[in-house]
Amino acid sequence: MSRSLLYAGLSAAAILGVMTLIIETAKADDAKPVTIVSWGGAYTKSQVEGYHKPFTAKTGIPITNVDYNGGIAEVKAQVESGNVVWDVVDMEVGDALRACDEGLLEPLDPASFPAAPDGTPATDDFYPEALTECWATSIIFSTVIAYDDSKVGASKPNTVGDFFDLEKFPGKRGLRKQNPKATLEMALLADGVVPEDIYEVLATPEGLDRAFAKLDTIKSNVVWWEAGSQPVQLLADGEVAMTLVYNGRLFDAVTAEKKPFKIVWDGQVSEYDTYVMVKGAPNKDAAMEFLKFATDTPQLAAQASWIAYAPARKSSLPLVGKNASNGEDMLPNLPTPDKGRMITVDPRFWADHQDEINQRWAAWLAR
């Protein structure tokens, strides 16, 4: 081969390489963002660090974050109006089940999700019912009771009953306003119902009356919150003596902000938190790519290094190490049954009874 032909070949190869790089860069720059809706605060930060940043780095697809306060009303309004602007929504499993039942979600193919590192199919690696045709679970969280240790005496709250004991532990109580889930379960547990009977009792008119009667005993002392970041702030501001709060939010306040808060694990209400894709999602293919990436074994473990929620895959748990910010061991801080009496949310109960209980809840709030 002549030197001139060699140089020409090299030049052509170099030009092709540059053109490929330009095209790939243009594709990344032009990639349409995936809009992901979640709960804000420390929780969304854990998703940004564990999922969003590495996903964008790998694919070039940007992510737009939107905060909301839960429920399916906004998803339903978008789907029914034909004006869908959200792609992926982080939902509590009961809401995901309702949205699925109402045809508001794009179907997923569980068999297409990445296998565990040892080859175990995703359908076997996720915990039971954590991966379905409607949702892919990312974390397991608990609603717990928390208090400010610097503002109580020698006697410390240690049972769910203490939350309802205004004489022994005076002061305001923080409760979630827009959804009675976890609150009603804790009320029945405090009233003497054992965890395994909670939903059987709550499904009866007498059981529902019993839960509301227990809540009546503290209603005049309740401070209501809506966003997940608010109960931590209520504690910090001294507006409540105790509050219901998501365990991961409290962990973040204690470790990152050095708040003197403590968890009462007794009566913790444990639940799946899931990702769903909205029916008619404007960026469906990229959203599906995100779902598979975010719920893969290493990414679920990565999120657990930022916030104290348990990953939804068995293969992720051994990979959970220390907190990414402060080096705190994360495994002892994850919500597990060994830390106190645990109530596991029954999503079917809430899918079947949410509307009627919400109506009664609204009427109770208005009284």
Structural domains of the chain, with CATH: 26-140+273-319 (3.40.190.10), 142-272+330-366 (3.40.190.10)
pLDDT > 80? residue 19: no
The confidence score (pLDDT) of residue 27 equals 44
Contacts of 302 (CB under 8 A, 6+ apart): 49, 50, 51, 54
Q: How far apart are CA 346 and CA 243, in angstroms?
A: 22
Coil, helix or strand at residue 336: coil
pLDDT digits (tens, 9 = 90+) for 186-204: 999 999 999 999 999 999 9
**Residue 68: pLDDT above 70?**
yes
pLDDT for res 151: 87
In this prediction the pTM is 0.80
Q: Looking at 33-98, which runs of residues are DSSP E strands?
A: 34-38, 63-67, 88-92
Whole-number pLDDT of residue 42:
85
The 3-state secondary structure of 138-207, one letter per residue: EEEEEEEEEEEHHHCCCCCCCCHHHHCCCCCCCCCEEEECCCCCCHHHHHHHHCCCCHHHHHHHHCCHHH
Q: Judge whether residue 344 has pLDDT over 60.
A: yes
Confidence class of residue 338 from pLDDT cuts 50, 70 and 90?
Answer: confident
pLDDT tens across 135-185, in order? 999 999 999 999 999 988 889 999 999 999 999 999 999 999 988 999 999
How much is the mean pLDDT over the chain? 91
When pLDDT is cut at 50, 70 and 90, the band that residue 250 belongs to is: very high
Top mean-pLDDT range of 11-25, 116-130, 325-339:
116-130
**Beta strands 136-148 and 310-311, pairing class:** antiparallel
User: Over 60: is that where the pLDDT of 21 sits?
Assistant: no
Q: What is the pLDDT of residues 92-118, one digit of tens each?
A: 999 999 999 999 999 999 999 999 999
Reply yes or no on whether the pLDDT at 26 is more than 50.
no
Q: Give the confidence band of 18 by pLDDT, cuts at 50, 70, 90.
A: very low
Would strands 88-92 and 261-277 be described as parallel, antiparallel, or unpaired?
antiparallel
Q: Within 13 Å and on the Cβ side, how many CA atoms surround 63?
A: 26
Are 52 and 259 spatial neighbours (Cβ–Cβ below 8 Å)? no
pLDDT greater at residue 150 or residue 281: 281
Q: Quote the Cα angle for 345-350-351, to 5°.
A: 125
For residue 28, pLDDT over 70 is answered with: no
Position 30 scores a pLDDT of: 64
What does the pLDDT average to over 206-219?
A: 98
Confidence of residue 130 (pLDDT cuts 50, 70, 90): very high
How high is the pLDDT of residue 340?
Answer: 83
pLDDT at 7 over 90: no
- The average pLDDT across 51-60 equals 98
CA 354 to CA 349: how far, in whole Å? 8
In the chain, what percentage of residues exceed pLDDT 90?
Answer: 79
Which pLDDT value is given to residue 97? 94
Per-residue pLDDT for 300 more than 90? yes
